[in-house]
Amino acid sequence: MSGHEQYAEDLALYALGSLQGEDRANLEKHLDSCSGCRQELEALRGDGALLAVSATGPKPPQRSRQRLLDAVASDPRDSSSPAPARRFNVWAFFGWAAAVGMFLVVIQLRRQNVSLQEAVSSLGAVVGSQTIEMENARRVVDTLTAPDAQAVTLVAGKNPPQPQGKAFYLRNRSGLVFVANNLAPLPPDKIYELWLIPPDGKPIAAGLFKPDAKGNASVINPPGIPAGVEAKTFAVTLESATGPHDAPRGTGVMAGGA
Amino acid sequence: MSNADPKGIPPDSNLVAAIRSGDQTAMAALYDRYSSIVYSVALRVLGDTGAAEDILQDVFMQLWRNPNAFDSNRGSLGAWLAVITRNRAIDALRKRRPENDIEDVVISVETDLASEADRSRAAEKVRGLLGSMPAAQRSALEMAYFEGLTHTEIAAKTGEPLGTIKTRIRAGLTTLRKAFQE
């Protein structure tokens, strides 16, 4: 391997799926930042493939072939139109990004509104928190409706399914609303992370998020974005759930230029 | 590692490209090429023909639905399918949800497995290498690969130290790699 001999035995076990517990967590953390060990892992998986090849046996029954071809025929796919027609029409009719964005905002506002009403009626002492929530709601609306807000679409390099994201960014007020759909389910030890990349190329962490069961997710006004910073690109990466999350270390999922 | 065939048989990369455009006949061709290895691996792990057929179906449908998951620059399709199959079969054996998306399974292997003859040669060579290993080493490798046992479980089953199990498995894989690099 290219170095890090101390990880050699654990890498072999990891390639076979036999490494568990703390050893596995430590190795995965190391793999996030070591391309040499990732290459060795790929080679070890290749060694495992040789083991698999030794498993010769009878051919599958003829019915399996027909079963597969029937399934393929009932699941047609054409790369020239990767998205189903029904979905395409929905996007075309509503303007998908605006629709999804506004829908989420409405949900967010309704949720916050209900929360505020309950708070007013029962807890007069929480006026301060209501104000904060209303301010958040106002910032969401400002970010989506301000004439100088940037709207950036992020798309993945692979399809199907094709994850898509839309970022609404209000530079002078550090307002950022990001919505995404078609996201793949997360492995248990991973999390998605949104990045704002300014012209100097140094990514700024813009929030961790997990998709729901339908692959939808959103990030609303994440903290930590300096006011006035220009966005050249937005990107989403798949990161280790345990961090660190201060800089991209995982694999890219989608990106889009402002 | 090219699997181009001078007799005009389409290489894997062409068939995968055709699958990307929704060509069902390309899917049938890849099934004819690799169903035996996929089925054999699943059957070896699960020991049940019905369960192996289900894995066979699952693996090829994943390829159909997501052909971009396979990176032809990293090695042969046959090897990749074998690893995907093994992982899915182990998940089924251990009654757990799939631990890896197929896109996350990146392998690097140069051995060409496109033809029946290639696979037979490779299988014979691997079996010969396994047969020449010390029994404890071969057993540790097979328990990890075909039974999906963790190193802790293997140590508990054999009564040997964890470090010994780790060393044996790594040495076994290294032996295989070196033999195929010669």
- Among A133-142, A176-185, B7-16, which is the least confidently predicted range? A133-142
Q: Taking 60 as the threshold, does the pLDDT of residue A1 lie above it?
A: no
Distance separating alpha carbons of residues A170 and A144, to the nearest angstrom:
8
Q: Note the pLDDT of residue A7.
A: 85
- Among A104-108, A233-237, B112-116, which is the least confidently predicted range? A104-108
Distance separating alpha carbons of residues A68 and A14, to the nearest angstrom:
32
Both tokens of A258, joined, read 């402002």
A206 close to A220: Cβ distance less than 8 angstroms: no
Same domain, A155 and A241: yes
Same domain, A125 and A210: no
- Determine whether the interchain pair A68/B61 forms a contact, defined as Cβ–Cβ distance below 8 Å: yes
In angstroms, how far is CA B54 from the centroid of its own chain?
16
* pLDDT tens digits, one per residue of B38-90: 999 999 999 999 999 999 999 999 999 988 888 777 678 888 898 899 999 99
Q: Note the pLDDT of residue B141.
A: 93
Q: Note the pLDDT of residue B59.
A: 94
Distance separating alpha carbons of residues A116 and A134, to the nearest angstrom:
8
Alpha carbon of B6: minimum distance to chain A alpha carbons (Å) = 24
Q: Note the pLDDT of residue A85.
A: 34
Same domain, A246 and A199: yes
Distance separating alpha carbons of residues B21 and B43, to the nearest angstrom:
31
Q: What class, spelled out in words, does domain B133-182 have in CATH?
A: mainly alpha
**Does the CB of A55 have a partner CB in chain B at under 8 Å?**
yes
Supply the mean pLDDT for chain A. Answer: 78
**Does the CB of A184 have a partner CB in chain B at under 8 Å?**
yes
Beta-carbon contacts of A244 under 8 Å, excluding residues fewer than 6 positions away, are: none
Q: Which tops the pLDDT comparison, B110 or B141?
A: B141
Of A145, A165, A189, which residue sits at a domain end?
A: A145
Q: Taking 60 as the threshold, does the pLDDT of residue A84 lie above it?
A: no
**Looking at residues A144-152, what average pLDDT do you find?**
68
Alpha carbon of A221: minimum distance to chain B alpha carbons (Å) = 31
**Does the CB of A200 have a partner CB in chain B at under 8 Å?**
no
How many beta-carbon pairs under 8 angstroms link A with B? 199
Q: What is the 3-state secondary structure (H, E, C) of A182-248?
A: CCCCCCCCEEEEEEEECCCCCCEEEEEECCCCCCCEEEECCCCCCCCCCCCEEEEEEEECCCCCCCC
- Determine whether the interchain pair A56/B52 forms a contact, defined as Cβ–Cβ distance below 8 Å: no
Whether the bond into A160 is cis, omega within 30 of 0: yes
Q: Taking 80 as the threshold, does the pLDDT of residue A200 lie above it?
A: yes
Distance separating alpha carbons of residues A135 and A129, to the nearest angstrom:
10
Residue A75 corresponds to which amino acid?
D
What Å distances lie between residue B46 and B51, B87, B92, CA to CA? 7, 11, 8
Same domain, A107 and A162: no
Q: What residue numbers bound the domain in which A24 lies?
A: 5-52
What's the CATH architecture for B1-112? Orthogonal Bundle (1.10)
Q: What is the 3-state secondary structure (H, E, C) of chain B?
A: CCCCCCCCCCCHHHHHHHHHCCCHHHHHHHHHHHHHHHHHHHHHHHCCHHHHHHHHHHHHHHHHHCHHHCCHHHECHHHHHHHHHHHHHHHHHCCCCCCCCHHHCCCCECCCCCCHHHHHHHHHHHHHHHHHCCHHHHHHHHHHHHCCCCHHHHHHHHCCCHHHHHHHHHHHHHHHHHHHHC
Q: For chain B, give every residue range classified as CATH 1.10.1740.10.
A: 1-112
Q: Taking 70 as the threshold, does the pLDDT of residue A128 lie above it?
A: no
Residue B163 corresponds to which amino acid?
G
Q: For chain B, give every residue range classified as CATH 1.10.10.10.
A: 133-182
Q: Note the pLDDT of residue A101.
A: 57
Of B31, B40, B109, the CB nearest to A49: B109
Q: Taking 90 as the threshold, does the pLDDT of residue A141 lie above it?
A: no
- Chain A, 143 to 172: residues with Cβ < 8 Å from chain B are 158-160
**Looking at residues A201-212, what average pLDDT do you find?**
91
In chain A, whose CA is at the least distance from the CA of B46? A55
- Determine whether the interchain pair B170/A12 forms a contact, defined as Cβ–Cβ distance below 8 Å: yes
Task: Provide the Cα torsion A4, A9, A14, A20; round to 10°.
Answer: -110
A254 close to A164: Cβ distance less than 8 angstroms: yes
Supply the mean pLDDT for chain B. Answer: 86
Beta-carbon contacts of B12 under 8 Å, excluding residues fewer than 6 positions away, are: B3, B30, B33, B72, B76, B77, B78, B114
Q: Note the pLDDT of residue A93.
A: 40
Same domain, A178 and A238: yes
Same domain, A110 and A164: no
**Looking at residues A142-171, what average pLDDT do you find?**
72
Residue B84 corresponds to which amino acid?
I
**Does the CB of A70 have a partner CB in chain B at under 8 Å?**
no
In angstroms, how far is CA A253 from the centroid of its own chain?
7
Q: Taking 60 as the threshold, does the pLDDT of residue A218 lie above it?
A: yes
- Determine whether the interchain pair B65/A160 forms a contact, defined as Cβ–Cβ distance below 8 Å: yes
Percentage with pLDDT > 90 across chain A? 19
Burial B17-31 (b: 16+ CB within 10 A, else e): bbbbebbbebbbbbb
Same domain, A139 and A159: no
Provide the CATH number for the domain around residue A247: 2.60.40
- Determine whether the interchain pair A9/B166 forms a contact, defined as Cβ–Cβ distance below 8 Å: yes
Q: Note the pLDDT of residue B46.
A: 94
Tally of residues, chain B: 182
- Chain B, 13 to 52: residues with Cβ < 8 Å from chain A are 20-22, 24, 27-28, 31-32, 35-41, 43-45, 49, 52
* pLDDT tens digits, one per residue of A16-62: 888 888 888 999 999 888 888 988 888 888 888 888 888 878 889 99
Of A126, A145, A164, which residue sits at a domain end?
A: A145
Mutual angle of helices B135-146 and B151-158, in 10-degree steps: 140
Same domain, A140 and A94: yes
**Looking at residues A229-256, what average pLDDT do you find?**
90
Distance separating alpha carbons of residues B117 and A35, to the nearest angstrom:
35
In a mutational test of the A interface, the residue from B36, B147, B158, B169 whose CB has the highest number of chain A CBs within 10 Å is B169
Whether the bond into A161 is cis, omega within 30 of 0: yes
**Looking at residues A214-225, what average pLDDT do you find?**
87
Both tokens of A87, joined, read 């979905």
- Chain B, 117 to 176: residues with Cβ < 8 Å from chain A are 119-120, 122-123, 126-127, 130, 141-142, 144-146, 148-152, 154, 166-167, 169-170, 173-174, 176
**Does the CB of B65 have a partner CB in chain A at under 8 Å?**
yes
Domain total of chain A: 3
In chain B, whose CA is at the least distance from the CA of A44? B173
* Residue A253, in any domain of the structure: yes
Q: What is the DSSP letter of A76?
A: -
Q: Taking 50 as the threshold, does the pLDDT of residue A217 lie above it?
A: yes
- Which has the closest alpha carbon to A61: B44, B29, B57? B57
- Which has the closest alpha carbon to B144: A46, A11, A13, A9? A13
A99 close to A88: Cβ distance less than 8 angstroms: no
Same domain, A112 and A189: no
* pLDDT tens digits, one per residue of B117-130: 888 888 899 999 99
ipTM above 0.90, yes or no: no
